[in-house]
Amino acid sequence: MERRGIPVSNWPGKYVIGLTGNIATGKSVVRRMLEHLGAYTIDADALSHRAIAKGAPGYQPVVNTFGKWLVGKDGEIDRKKLGNLVFNDSEALNELEEIIHPLVNQATDVLIQRAAQPIVVIEAIKLLEGKLRTACDSIWVTNAPESVQIERLVRKRGLTQDQALERIRIQSAQSAKVAAAHVVIKNTGSYEELWKQVTAAWKKISPAGDTMPVIVKTVRGDFSVQRGRPRDSHAIAELITRLSQGKRKVASSDVMADFGDKAYLLLQMDGKPIGLAGWQVENLVARTTDLYLEDGIDTARALEPLIKEVERASSDLQCEASLLFPENLLAGQETLWKQLGYERRTPETLGVQAWQDAALESMPARSTLYFKQLRQDRVLRPI
């Protein structure tokens, strides 16, 4: 069910979806799918991490409240130590939330006001417990069987089954979230079924229905760049397998699963696919982890339109920086990357903690990091 009529959010001209659900029910996957469909999306939990980074306004209050023992050798708050502290102490958790929540709300307000997209999604695990609940036009809740939650926590986070069950059962009842929802997305583990549910719900609120934004831009006559869709998963899988010369043998099911994390841009020459970029935007940082080009083509001419479209699409999502992780021959094209405005860097030299975290989280093995700042006016300074 979906609430219809005039938006009631705090942001005129915006329709705001509050997306929540318990741990490992697929909130982030659904948020990413909505981004593919044309929404501007915000991860409130990532903003909370950014709010307590060194130099951010939540850093010193957290240190003052809980002690300097939380600070690591790099001067940053050790989030694992902090999490262990508040995990079983409701009073400590409340103190932490009193510091962080106002900052996250402030950052969310800035991002929504600056977003060009008419539909905005705020993902937050504690959405219903805070002020954001009443600021949203619609509440969407992801729901998954406990067995699926356990499997994901074991596979993705390395927890034991007992640890996974403890994490699941310490949270507020999932049934209460479902009862508060205008839209319930049932996530049983099938990406195809999940995509059908998300697109069906999207049609009810989007003026464009299920039309996914497609980037098609002819550059220098021969080249065009097009955004891949989930229905292109088979073609994308074949392209990655071919362009990687079999080093990555990818199935269409793998690509469908990847659509829960990233988007794909396909480079074509005279209608034939010759290149691909797989990239995502998290916490205002673009990360391109898949980058392939056909052998035997002019690398400089082919790479420019592909990277420019990554940057343009990232700028639509208010990105502050672009990180590229080319491998093999592309990694050594330092002169070419300089012409496109990129510097060869290491994560530790990026300066901004959010950028460093993004590089460390996303950098594949055996890859090289190239960095470009996309905007001088940092969107969330100092958050």
| pLDDT tens digits along 148-201 | 999 999 998 899 999 899 889 888 889 999 999 999 999 987 888 999 999 999
Q: What are residue 275's DSSP bridge partners?
A: 267, 293
Domain residue ranges of the chain, discontinuous segments joined by +? 15-203, 217-373
Q: Tokens representing 59?
A: 């850093």
Q: Classify domain 15-203 at the CATH superfamily level.
A: P-loop containing nucleotide triphosphate hydrolases (3.40.50.300)
pTM of the model: 0.90
- Is-contact 198 26, C-beta < 8 A? no
Report the alpha-carbon distance of residue 336 to residue 223 in Å, rounded. 18
- Is-contact 3 182, C-beta < 8 A? yes
pLDDT given for residue 100 in this prediction: 95
Q: Classify domain 217-373 at the CATH superfamily level.
A: Gcn5-related N-acetyltransferase (GNAT) (3.40.630.30)
pLDDT given for residue 132 in this prediction: 86
Report the alpha-carbon distance of residue 129 to residue 131 in Å, rounded. 7
303-349 pLDDT per residue, tens:
999 999 999 999 999 999 999 999 888 999 999 999 999 999 999 99
Biggest CA pair distance of the chain? 63
Report the alpha-carbon distance of residue 282 to residue 157 in Å, rounded. 19
Distance between alpha carbon 372 and the CA centroid of its chain, in Å?
19
Contacts of 267 (CB under 8 A, 6+ apart): 223, 224, 225, 273, 274, 275, 276, 277, 293, 302, 305, 306
Q: Please state, as a whole number, how many other Cβ atoms lie within 10 Å of the Cβ of residue 216.
A: 10
pLDDT given for residue 118 in this prediction: 94
From 299, 234, 297, select the one nearest 270 (Cα to Cα): 297
Report the alpha-carbon distance of residue 255 to residue 118 in Å, rounded. 28
227-249 pLDDT per residue, tens:
998 889 999 999 999 999 999 99
Q: Which amino acid is at 277?
A: A
Report the alpha-carbon distance of residue 239 to residue 249 in Å, rounded. 10
pLDDT given for residue 208 in this prediction: 67
- Is-contact 226 273, C-beta < 8 A? no
Rounded to an integer, the average pLDDT of 72-78 is 92
pLDDT averaged over every residue in the chain: 90
- Is-contact 133 53, C-beta < 8 A? no
Report the alpha-carbon distance of residue 290 to residue 324 in Å, rounded. 9
Contacts of 52 (CB under 8 A, 6+ apart): 58, 59, 62, 77, 79, 82, 99, 100
Report the alpha-carbon distance of residue 145 to residue 257 in Å, rounded. 19
N- to C-terminal Cα distance for the chain?
A: 35
Residue 71 is classified by DSSP as B
